[in-house]
């Protein structure tokens, strides 16, 4: 089954790479490199959010392993962690942002690559982080000022933080970060080499292309929804029915729909209240990035606890 997933993910990466090139050429020719934030929000609330909408089933699995019977505790813990992240972001936004970027780099690198990697060494964990850091370094390198503008809209007003970023940008640290991420891709590519490992470079060049041409928000939306989320959904489909992925997709859709809709409702309520204080596009950015941060931490913690306790 692992070879089957590798083949599916390779085909997915190849199609994604082609579409990135075609879409970029069309967008560049007709000068539509900027997409409305409301479209980005819609894609993230539908495709993006859905890839974590089976966390309740994973929570049940974890509780069965640990021997807990009161499943209500899982929902309360998950929600409280998400709320805690939002509160911390309001109190110490720049520290919360830094931690989120570090955690997200590792998360993206691991989930996008682990189907190819069998060895779970500490060195590979570092490579996961470096590989995923491309999602952070690329928009900063290609669209520094625009990325900084997004940070400012996310309640980040610490002058020392921006002085540090200006120092990083002026001294080519961002370029060095991209080079390190490139090296991590090469090292993963050469581990137990097989043709399907080209998935790594297809993903790498796709991320570079969309970040070079598109704004940080649009580039992140394309990556998060159509590469990261779909790849995770494919793995969930295989877990639900490893003999028939079409049936796995049907099961996934039915099981993911309730929490996806519920999360969307909460996000839209939050958007309504935020738009009373901030302008609409600024409110959307807060919902997308602070909202994703609040969901990412319990999601990653759950994945870690399952992986640890299964062993």
Is the pLDDT reported for residue 224 higher than 70?
A: yes
Confidence of residue 311 (pLDDT cuts 50, 70, 90): low
Once rounded to an integer, what is the mean pLDDT over residues 76-90?
A: 95
Radius of gyration of the chain (CA): 19
Once rounded to an integer, what is the mean pLDDT over residues 258-266?
A: 93
The answer to whether the CB of 225 falls within 8 A of the CB of 6 is no
Question: Which pLDDT belongs to residue 71?
Answer: 82
Is the pLDDT reported for residue 34 higher than 80?
A: no
Residue with tokens 């999360």: 263
Distances, alpha carbon 194 to alpha carbons 6, 10, 109, 168, 266, in Å: 10, 11, 19, 37, 44
Is the pLDDT reported for residue 91 higher than 70?
A: yes
Question: Please, which contacts does 96-100 make with residues 24 or more away whose CB atoms are closer than 8 Å?
Answer: 96/293, 97/151, 97/154, 97/156, 100/293, 100/296, 100/297
The rounded Cα 208 to chain-centroid distance in angstroms is 16
Angle at 61 between CA 58 and CA 67, to 5 degrees: 140
Once rounded to an integer, what is the mean pLDDT over residues 8-13?
A: 94
Is the pLDDT reported for residue 32 higher than 80?
A: no
The answer to whether the CB of 81 falls within 8 A of the CB of 289 is no
Confidence of residue 28 (pLDDT cuts 50, 70, 90): confident
Is the pLDDT reported for residue 143 higher than 70?
A: yes
Once rounded to an integer, what is the mean pLDDT over residues 205-228?
A: 96
Residue with tokens 């793995």: 235
Question: Which pLDDT belongs to residue 229?
Answer: 95
Domain ranges of the chain: 2-310
Question: Which pLDDT belongs to residue 213?
Answer: 93
- High-pLDDT (> 90) share of the chain, %: 74
Sign of the alpha-carbon dihedral angle for 147, 21, 106, 281: positive
The answer to whether the CB of 153 falls within 8 A of the CB of 89 is no
Confidence of residue 243 (pLDDT cuts 50, 70, 90): confident
Is the pLDDT reported for residue 1 higher than 70?
A: no
Is the pLDDT reported for residue 2 higher than 80?
A: no
Confidence of residue 268 (pLDDT cuts 50, 70, 90): very high
Once rounded to an integer, what is the mean pLDDT over residues 25-40?
A: 85
Least confident interval from 63-72, 206-215, 239-248: 63-72
Average pLDDT, whole number, for the chain? 92
According to the 3-state scheme, what is the secondary structure of the chain?
A: CHHHHHHHHHHHHHHHHHHHHHHHHHHHHCCCCCCCHHHHHHHHHHHHHHCCCCHHHHHHHHHHHHCCCCCHHHHHHHHHHHHHHHHHHHHCHHHHHHHHHHHHHHHHHHHCCCCCCCCCCHHHHHHHHHHHCHHHHHHHHHCHHHHHHHHHHCCCCCHHHHHHHHHHHHCCHHHHHHHHHHHHHHHHHHCCCCHHHHHHHHHHHHHHHHHHHCCHHHHHHHHHHHHHHHHHHHHHHHHHCCCCHHHHHHHHHHHHHHHHHHHHHHHHHHHHHHCCCCCHHHHHHHHHHHHHHHHHHHHHHHHHHHHHHHC
Q: How many CA atoms lie within 13 A of 301 on its CB side?
A: 14
Question: Which pLDDT belongs to residue 69?
Answer: 80
């Amino acid at each position: 089954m692992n070879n089957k997933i590798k083949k599916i993910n390779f085909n997915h990466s190849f199609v994604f790479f082609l579409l990135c090139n075609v879409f970029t050429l069309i967008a560049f020719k007709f000068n539509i490199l900027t997409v409305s934030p409301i479209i980005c929000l819609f894609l993230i609330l539908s495709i993006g959010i859905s890839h974590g909408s089976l966390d309740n089933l994973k929570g049940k699995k974890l509780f069965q392993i640990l021997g807990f019977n009161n499943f209500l505790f899982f929902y309360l813990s998950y929600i409280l962690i998400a709320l805690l992240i939002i509160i911390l972001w309001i109190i110490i936004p720049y520290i919360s942002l830094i931690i989120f970027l570090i955690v997200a780099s590792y998360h993206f690198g691991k989930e996008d690559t682990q189907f190819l990697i069998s060895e779970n060494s500490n060195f590979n964990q570092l490579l996961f982080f470096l590989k995923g850091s491309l999602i952070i370094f690329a928009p900063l390198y290609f669209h520094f000022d625009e990325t900084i503008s997004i940070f400012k809209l996310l309640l980040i007003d610490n002058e020392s933080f921006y002085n540090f970023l200006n120092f990083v940008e002026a001294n080519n640290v961002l370029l060095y970060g991209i080079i390190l991420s490139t090296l991590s891709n090469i090292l993963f590519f050469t581990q137990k080499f097989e043709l399907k490992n080209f998935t790594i470079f297809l993903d790498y060049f796709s991320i570079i292309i969309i970040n070079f041409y598109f704004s940080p928000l649009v580039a992140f939306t394309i990556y998060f929804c159509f590469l990261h989320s779909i790849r995770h959904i494919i793995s969930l489909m295989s877990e639900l029915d490893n003999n028939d992925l079409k049936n796995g997709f049907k099961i996934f859709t039915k099981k993911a729909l309730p929490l996806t809709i519920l999360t969307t409702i909460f996000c839209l309520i939050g958007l309504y209240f935020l738009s009373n204080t901030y302008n609409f596009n600024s409110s959307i950015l807060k919902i997308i990035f602070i909202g994703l941060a609040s969901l990412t931490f319990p999601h990653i913690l759950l994945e870690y606890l399952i992986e640890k306790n299964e062993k």
